[in-house]
Structure 1
């Protein structure tokens, strides 16, 4: 019995040792751990567990692009500032005597915590409770608004003080109007799933052109930064469009300290930042359009409670008076439009 026990113990030890050697010989990332969240701007040391052999070379890549090649097993540094926010795929190809082995990992690069804001109502104005607000913009004393829904979509010029339409046009019944923006002397209006945007004269609202969408097939929000139009499609991406042709020229992902921020809806460009309604939330996020980082978050819970429905009654509509520095917000089928002031928390 003793001999059998000794043999069993010996076998167990051999298995443990072999298992340990196999694990030690596995090419893998020791740091960072796969799925690790990393602050934007951080310099991350990439460290591999190498097999116990002399390597010919190690080729490190991020998102499939080579960023460093080494002839030894020392660590390399990944500077997150050079690669932007979001998921980053890491790989290391190790070459030994003509043979290749590959290790993979991934990290999520996220911005610092956003500044949180509450609000203070400065003024209240009447708003058409039949307007299914999708786009809103203020310019030279006039509020411009697009109202959605099939068979009911409109584009209107509105008197701020009364909420009455100064001029309006109705879209064809097959179009669902979405976000809009003013580009010089034109108004550009998105449609939801019809893959087309219409261009109108700002003065008389006569249609003067149109363009089809690119990769972002749905139209949600639209704004203009003075050089390009910026479009949302309900995802966490912002698309930058040519101001004349509407062609997509670039895009960027939007992230806060918790991850991707999706459902981006109506947009407004204010002092270098993009303000975006988050669909079905009483929240506006303030986005840096260069990095995609959410730098601010405005909580508007409780601002409007008149017979609110759980759907089709959402906060949606941001406009800004650039001269008087006034911020306006409203929502779908709301009877009021609010001028608000942000209160830092």
Structure 2
């Protein structure tokens, strides 16, 4: 089973898994096809098996996976320097993360455990259990809910405090086919303040934008070739989407990638 950055005249202030499924990713015929506009490059720790990626108040939070190597960390988004790391127990496989107020929820892959941490110290404060696998998670602030992926075509809604299931939606492409292997998630408000979910599709170079109200894929971004071939030795798949608040820009990276990229997702000719 994820250069210095300047944003809006200031320096820049989140899996999956190696899990498998028989389903094939389905992201055909999106309503809007986008491409990536690269604005900058920042170093990324090549030892980080990136599962969760999120930027909040000038701090980049990153969750890494693999048993015995999983961690949660804070990163300087301008330099890529890791500023704090807390390791998970050796039997836990870290997955997606999301910031909720002064806390961070961190998923685990097949352990059925969500860990709530103090956002500033990364120290564990509480745990919740869930059924199935944990892949990605994001905080829909407008609806005050968590949105979680488990590798299937289902997004599950959860309570921000108790982690209890409050609903969910099945994700479909414009052809009506299920969209599976939905991985790392990022909730980003649209022009009306409603969350749109940007998601990696595991084992592809695609990121999709999902309307969590209907479950429909509204756009697909093709990031093929983002990481140059010369830098691909020893790397794993694209994974990690962090929206840069107040802009239409994102930081994206991959598992064991040497670089994270500051990008925009644009239509052809934009």
**TM-score between both structures, scaled by the size of structure 2:** 0.83
How far 1:307 sits from its partner (Å)?
4.4
In structure 1, runs of 5+ residues without a counterpart are: 1-110
Find the partner of 1:275 among 183, 198, 205: 198
Counterpart for residue 139 of structure 2:
224
Partner secondary structure for residue 255 of structure 1: coil
Deviations 1:51-80 (A, max 9, x none): xxxxxxxxxxxxxxxxxxxxxxxxxxxxxx
Q: What are the residue-to-residue correspondences of 1:70-81 with 2, within 5 Å? A: none
Counterpart for residue 57 of structure 2:
140
Counterpart for residue 296 of structure 1:
219
Larger Rg: 1
Counterpart for residue 236 of structure 1:
153
Q: What are the residue-to-residue correspondences of 1:89-104 with 2, within 5 Å? A: none
Partner secondary structure for residue 257 of structure 2: coil
Runs of 4+ in 1 over 6 A off after TM superposition: none
Deviations 1:137-170 (A, max 9, x none): 0011110000100000000011112211111100
Counterpart for residue 244 of structure 2:
321
In structure 2, runs of 5+ residues without a counterpart are: 1-27, 190-194
Counterpart for residue 93 of structure 2:
176
Q: What are the residue-to-residue correspondences of 1:31-180 with 2, within 5 Å? A: 113-180=30-97
**TM-score between both structures, scaled by the size of structure 1:** 0.65
Aligned residues, how many?
232
Find the partner of 1:335 among 246, 255, 258: 258
Name whichever structure is richer in strand by fraction. Answer: 1
Q: Matched residues in 2 for 1:154 and 1:189: separation?
A: 10
Deviations 1:198-233 (A, max 9, x none): 01000111110010014xx10000000110010000
Deviations 1:69-106 (A, max 9, x none): xxxxxxxxxxxxxxxxxxxxxxxxxxxxxxxxxxxxxx
How far 1:177 sits from its partner (Å)?
0.1
How far 1:323 sits from its partner (Å)?
2.2
Indicate the RMSD between aligned Cα atoms, in angstroms: 1.6
